[in-house]
A and B are shown apart, each in its own frame.
Chain A
Amino acid sequence: MSDTTEATLAEICIVALAEAFRGDGEVLCNPMGPVPVIAGRLARATFEPDLMLTDTIAYAIEGNLPLGGDPSDAVVESYMPFRTIFDQVWSGKRHVVMGAPQIDRYGNQNFAAIGDDYRKPKAQLLGMRGAPGNLINHATTYWIPTQARSFVESVDVVSGPGNDTIASLPEATGRFHEIRRVVTDLGAYDFETSDGTMRVRSLHPGVTLEQAQEASAFELTVTGEVPESRLPTDEERHLIREVFDPNGVRNGEFR
């Protein structure tokens, strides 16, 4: 029997992230971390069947692999070692989901290092990793489990350039740049604004606009009535709970 209890916060976030892939068609969906990985697999299993997904190692696989499942059970449809991933980045047929310990109003992201002095940071984080290349080549979505910590007035270091940064560069440079969505524990945000600022797209059930604003060091752009984030359908709930994440790894991301 399917578990039909009320959707949890993690499940609402997963659905909001899956929604970021709607309309992507045949691209490599490259989510990082458990909640985004479930979201990518969920999108493909439901409304975006043409997405390509990896086993998070080196193969593009078919089917509904559970989190931590044995990829050797899956049907391999293509080979995606890191070199091919970078080639894929530059070719543009990719949509990545990354984290953002710091993000500002225009979507400038930092996961490299925290502190005023990049040469001697307070906290060394991931480094540049793939952010500079990802942002300037294809669609990017951010997953932020704790909005209040991450929505900052200005980032210490720009690893992933935001809309104002891109606007200051020649037009040709930024022509593939797109920050599709930001999903947090409080809501989903986009940049469908004339000035490139972050807009409230939807708020998770029970979250008020005041609460969302309070958990942000910059002013959130609001256009019209803000809808509630959509709940998972019965099918989605079943897929998340029984197929992709039977062990509840998704709940461990909120700390």
Chain B
Amino acid sequence: MADKRMTEDEVVAELKSGMTIGIGGWGSRRKPMSLVRAILRSDLTDLHIVSYGGPDVGILTAAGKCRRVTYGFVSLDSIPLEPHFRAVRQGGLLPDFMELDEGAFYLGLMAAAHRVPFYPTRAGLGSAMLSENPELRTVTSPYGDGEELVAIPAFEMDAVLLHMNRADAKGNGQFLGPDLYFDDLFAMAGAKTYMSAEKIIPTEDFLREGPVHTLKIPRTHVDGVVEAPMGAHFTECPPDYGRDEAFQREYAATAKDPEAWAQFRADWLELESHEAYRAKLEERGRA
């Protein structure tokens, strides 16, 4: 059986500028932040990010890494509006984006996972979601009712990045928190899927960690596994850890001041490795 273990930098070496990259999690919850930081310190650019957006979108758009973003929202949860993303939008620095109803976004993931061109929904009819996204099309029901529905296009993605609580070296993933979000669909929708996890464990230990229903990411849809303890920091990753609210507030505050943002990037986001980040976090915890 293939051993799919990789490092963050090895994952990023598989990515290319211009790619469409999906990022799992939700808002400031269980985001693959060690992989996002690896993208930040790489020379990748011109990316199209597809995400239930949180600091992943805030960081990558503020750093000028993105050509386009597809999202339903971009939020830090306890800070409802992602300040870096707001600054980018309000500065007109992201002219190309698709803002969707957050349920419609689920259908775009599902269509890609199921390899159909679209899924229909009523969501969007009568709202700016349609009028502001002229690329969105409607379909007419082929059945007697003839109802017109929005066709949410499949989110075809070159690569997907996820973070799980546990994984095995073969690429099976396990979530132990209250919500999987849409990570299984992301995994199936990505042409390549890279999954970080708090801990890589022997396959036979999965059911000691949680019930069978938590085994939601099958290895058939995973190409690489990265062991990254604290890999979702500063977003939450329960039950392993909650959100680091103090750290998130610091991050958010830097959106007001380009110098503070540059400093924060240098101090935290552009460290040479996840190990260096963790070491610095530990130091901070002791301070």
Contact = CB atoms under 8 A, between A and B. Distances in A.
A157 B132 contact: yes
Given A119-B95, A161-B126, A128 B102 contact: yes
Nearest to B75: A126
A122 B126 contact: no
B56 to A, nearest CB: 15
A161 B81 CA distance: 22
A177 to B, nearest CB: 8
A113 B89 CA distance: 10
B104 interface: yes
B89 to A, nearest CB: 4
Interface in B85-101: 85-86, 89-92, 95, 99-101
Given A127-B72, A128-B100, A130-B101, A136 B145 contact: no
B86 A173 contact: no
Given A126-B80, A130-B102, A169-B125, A120 B90 contact: yes
A129 B128 contact: no
Interface stretch (A6-14, A80-88, A139-147, A223-231): A80-88
Contacts of A132: 101, 104, 123-127, 129
Nearest to B178: A58
A146 to B, nearest CB: 17
Given A128-B102, A159-B127, A172-B145, A137 B90 contact: no
Contacts of A174: 126
B29 to A, nearest CB: 10
Given A82-B26, A128-B73, 20 more contacts: A82-B182, A83-B106, A83-B182, A119-B92, A121-B89, A124-B90, A126-B73, A126-B75, A126-B80, A127-B72, A127-B73, A128-B101, A128-B127, A132-B104, A132-B124, A133-B102, A135-B126, A136-B126, A168-B126, A172-B145
Nearest to A119: B95
Contacts of A126: 73, 75, 80-81
A47 interface: no
Interface string A108-132: 0000110001111111111111111
B283 interface: no
Contacts of B102: 86, 128-130, 133
Contacts of B145: 172
B273 interface: no
24 contacts: A59-B178, A119-B95, A120-B92, A123-B86, A124-B86, A126-B73, A127-B99, A128-B72, A128-B129, A129-B102, A130-B101, A132-B104, A132-B124, A132-B127, A133-B102, A133-B121, A157-B132, A159-B128, A161-B126, A166-B126, A169-B126, A172-B146, A173-B122, A173-B147
B269 interface: no
Interface in B106-138: 106, 121-129, 131-132
A174 B85 CA distance: 33
Contact of B122 (A137, A160, A168): A137
A89 interface: yes
A23 interface: no
B128 A112 contact: yes
B128 A90 contact: no
B103 interface: yes
B95 A120 contact: yes
Contacts of A137: 122-123
A122 B74 CA distance: 17
A206 B108 CA distance: 50
Interface in B137-187: 145-148, 178-182
A176 B122 CA distance: 10
B71 A127 contact: yes
* 10 nearest A-B pairs in the assembled complex, by CB-CB distance: A133-B123, A161-B126, A120-B92, A58-B178, A132-B127, A86-B103, A124-B89, A132-B101, A81-B179, A133-B103
Given A120-B95, A124-B90, A157 B123 contact: no
A133 B86 contact: no
Interface in B27-74: 71-74
Contacts of B127: 128, 131-132, 135, 158-161, 165
B121 A112 contact: no
A29 B178 CA distance: 20
A173 B148 contact: yes
Contact of A121 (B90, B101, B104, B146): B90
Contact of A133 (B85, B104, B178, B182): B104
A49 to B, nearest CB: 26
Contacts of A1: none
Given A128-B100, A133-B101, A81 B180 contact: yes
A81 B100 CA distance: 20
B83 to A, nearest CB: 10
